[in-house]
Amino acid sequence: MGSPAETNLDSLPRVTWKQAMSSGLDTYKRLVHDGLQPVRPPVALTEFERRPVKLFSRAETVSLREVTGRAIDWATAVLVSDAVILDTETTGVDTSTDRVVQIAVIDMSGRQLLDTLIDPGVPIPERATTIHGISDQAVACQPTFAQALPEISDVLGDRDVVVYNSVYDGALLRAEVARVHGDEHAEQWTRSRTWKCAMRVYSWYKAQWSVTREDWIRHKLPGALHGAMGDCQATLELIRTMAAAGEPPEGYGAPVTDSRGNPHGWPTPVE
């Protein structure tokens, strides 16, 4: 956990401790002790032992127990849905120029629906091969993305697609589809299904706040093997772990929401 981004302390009003309490303000330490994470900068200062102490609004906090509970709730629900888990391996990390070299899809029972290498049509950089072990020789006789696209689309159907970092994979696949059928078709292809980001849900489950990003800290996929099928299975195991952590707490209350009305940091479809 970490306190929200700093603000100009000189511009903050000074209040007494009694005024702070009557206004719903409290110190960062006391809020965290109560299981609350401030998600906005301090709004006032008080003085303690002749030192200025920052005060945060209790109305602009998120319950850490609630955050973890929502992740558990999501994991529990997605396990019994018809969603699929997808993962890719690529030539690099630039979603606009890099290419898919492997794609895998499983369902929530762990059943393999798709696992194929893809000929990217460009050389695979050595640094990428070092990570995922896929070489130019390995993909030489494999289908191109254009050839594999009909099967990929059929496997995904209109089901929700769970990805560990859906923003990356969603953008990458949209770029690949655009190379085959153009931007308009790629946009429709992407929006014909909902993309769920397991990495963001896991950041809620861990409930560690980023000071610089003013958001929940993202974590690497536990058990990642840097192979598309292995990472699909690792994502499924992570979802099972979150679901097995227990029932979400009752009476969530009203957490701070974003511009869409979603709880702060809650997963949204790829755009």
Chain centroid offset of residue 147 CA: 30
Predicted local confidence at residue 1, as pLDDT: 54
At 6 the pLDDT is: 55
Chain-centroid distance of CA 120 in Å reads 26
Q: Please choose, from the candidates 188, 189, 187, 197, the residue with its C-alpha nearest in 3D space to the C-alpha of residue 167.
A: 197
Element spanning 37, H or E: strand 36-38
| pLDDT confidence of residue 2 | 57
Angle value at C-alpha 38, between 35 and 44, nearest 5 degrees: 125
pLDDT along the chain (271 residues), means of 10: 61 92 93 90 88 92 91 94 96 91 97 97 94 94 97 96 94 96 96 95 91 86 91 97 75 44 44 34
- Is residue 248 classed as helix, strand or coil in its secondary structure? coil
Residue indicated by tokens 């009476």: 251
pLDDT given at position 108: 97
What's the confidence (pLDDT) of residue 254?
A: 42
Please, which residues have CB within 8 angstroms of residue 40's CB and are 6 or more apart in sequence? 4, 56, 57, 60, 256
Note the pLDDT of residue 262. 46
DSSP state of 12: S
What pLDDT does 40 receive? Answer: 86
